[in-house]
């Protein structure tokens, strides 16, 4: 690194010296205490620890930061921790970070554009070596505008001007497959739940595009009234959208929901209205959260390879952190997905 050796020595030894002076011991002894050496008496250890506490000396963080210009801390920004998809993904990313001896600061943006912007431009960058962010409110142009030297990996949303690496599934293809599966089981009145026209984010738009493509390929004309928008991707939003569909002029015989949570909300409404699933209504979700594996009936869904999303995102981030000059062009990694067919669309799979 470019941090001068002299500076390094002066600053680290100066703070060690402060502690040593306050405790009345040598700098070496302080270092031994900090490193947990057994050669220090209990009495001395206590005295040094008191001095460390009083002076607020943070040996490891300071040393690490000074030595390499790095803290060993990465940020993970997701819309919501309590969303099962993001919770599962966060768990995998934390595991993956541990493997790299990184600590993870998790922030939830609650889908707020200001919060997302602040993370990309703000204070956090001074603690974090890099940031993995799953933007929700911000679209690609916004993300690009707030670009900064902090290494960033985007989950889901593409940055068209190559500001950052991006790791995502092929949303258009996945949505097309999910809809084609409903068509292949003989459904023609297929609704979609989960459009988010109020957001800049492209994920919902891509899933809507895949849905329409599949319908057109099968010679079915998409029906505007069967494309339901939601303000959030929660179960209650899915339940409400499903009720609207059932209360409409013509009820659908199948629903493709853009998230498993929305699909589970739709299932809830279907049960409450006395509909049989899948006989009266077939339901497909997206995300493959654990919840859907145990719902009644179990949920057919698009399953992104979450473990690979976590692994590839942190590999991208590591590459950026260890080659800070950004010589490497931004990567756009497409992660595999597969359609998992369960009882919510196929009768004889109902008790699986």
Q: Under the rule (CB under 8 A), what is the footprint of a copy of itself?
A: 1-4, 7, 10-11, 14-15, 18, 49, 53-62, 65-66, 68-71, 73, 80-84, 87-88, 90-91, 94-95, 103-108, 110, 123-124, 126-127, 149, 234-235, 239, 264-265, 267-268, 271-272, 290-291, 293-297, 324, 351
Task: Transcribe 42-105 into DSSP letters.
Answer: HHHHHHHHHHHHHHT--HHHHHHHHHHS--SEEEEEES-SSSHHHHHHHHHHHHHHHHTT-EEE
Q: How far is the CB of 142 from a copy of itself (least distance, A)?
A: 19
Between 109 and 203, name the residue whose CB sits nearer to a copy of itself.
109
Between 205 and 293, name the residue whose CB sits nearer to a copy of itself.
293
Between 1 and 250, name the residue whose CB sits nearer to a copy of itself.
1
Tokens of 38: 């057994």
Contact 102, 322 (CB under 8 A): no
Q: How far is the CB of 221 from a copy of itself (least distance, A)?
A: 32
Question: Residues with Cβ < 8 Å from 53, sequence gap 6 or more?
Answer: none
Chain-centroid distance of CA 31 in Å reads 39
Q: Is the peptide bond before 278 cis (omega within 30 degrees of 0)?
A: yes
Phi then psi for residue 191, to 5 deg, are: -95, 165
Q: How far is the CB of 352 from a copy of itself (least distance, A)?
A: 8
Q: How far is the CB of 14 from a copy of itself (least distance, A)?
A: 7
Between 102 and 256, name the residue whose CB sits nearer to a copy of itself.
102
Q: How far is the CB of 350 from a copy of itself (least distance, A)?
A: 9
Between 87 and 251, name the residue whose CB sits nearer to a copy of itself.
87
């Amino acid at each position: 690194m470019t941090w001068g050796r002299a500076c390094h020595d002066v600053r680290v030894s100066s703070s060690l010296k402060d502690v040593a002076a306050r405790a009345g011991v040598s700098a070496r002894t302080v270092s031994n205490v900090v490193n947990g050496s057994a050669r220090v008496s209990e009495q001395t250890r206590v005295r040094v620890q008191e001095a460390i506490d009083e002076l607020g000396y943070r040996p490891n963080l300071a040393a690490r930061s000074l030595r390499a210009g790095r803290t060993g801390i990465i940020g993970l920004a997701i819309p919501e921790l309590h969303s099962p998809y993001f919770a599962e993904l966060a768990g995998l990313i934390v595991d993956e970070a541990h493997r790299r001896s990184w600590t993870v600061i998790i922030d939830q943006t609650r889908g707020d554009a200001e919060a997302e912007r602040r993370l990309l431009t703000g204070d956090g960058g001074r603690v974090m070596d890099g940031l993995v962010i799953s933007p929700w409110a911000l679209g690609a142009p916004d993300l690009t505008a707030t670009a900064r030297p902090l290494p960033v990996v985007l989950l889901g949303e593409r940055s068209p001007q190559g500001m950052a690496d991006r790791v995502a599934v092929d949303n258009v293809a996945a949505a097309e497959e999910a809809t084609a599966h409903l068509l292949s089981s003989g459904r023609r009145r297929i609704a979609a739940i989960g459009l988010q026209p109020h957001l800049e984010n492209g994920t919902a738009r891509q899933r809507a595009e895949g849905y329409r493509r599949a319908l057109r390929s099968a010679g079915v004309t998409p029906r505007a009234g069967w494309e339901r928008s939601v303000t959030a991707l929660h179960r209650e939003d899915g339940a409400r959208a499903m009720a609207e569909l059932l209360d409409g002029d013509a009820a659908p015989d199948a629903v493709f929901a853009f998230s498993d949570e929305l699909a589970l909300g739709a299932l809830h409404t279907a049960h409450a209205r006395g509909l049989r699933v899948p006989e009266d209504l077939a339901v497909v979700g997206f995300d493959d959260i654990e919840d859907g594996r145990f719902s009644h009936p179990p949920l057919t869904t698009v399953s992104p390879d979450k473990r690979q999303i976590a692994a590839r995102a942190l590999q991208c981030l590591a590459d950026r952190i260890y080659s800070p000059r950004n010589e490497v062009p931004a990567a756009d990694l497409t992660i595999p997905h597969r359609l998992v067919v369960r009882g919510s669309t196929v009768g004889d799979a109902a008790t699986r």
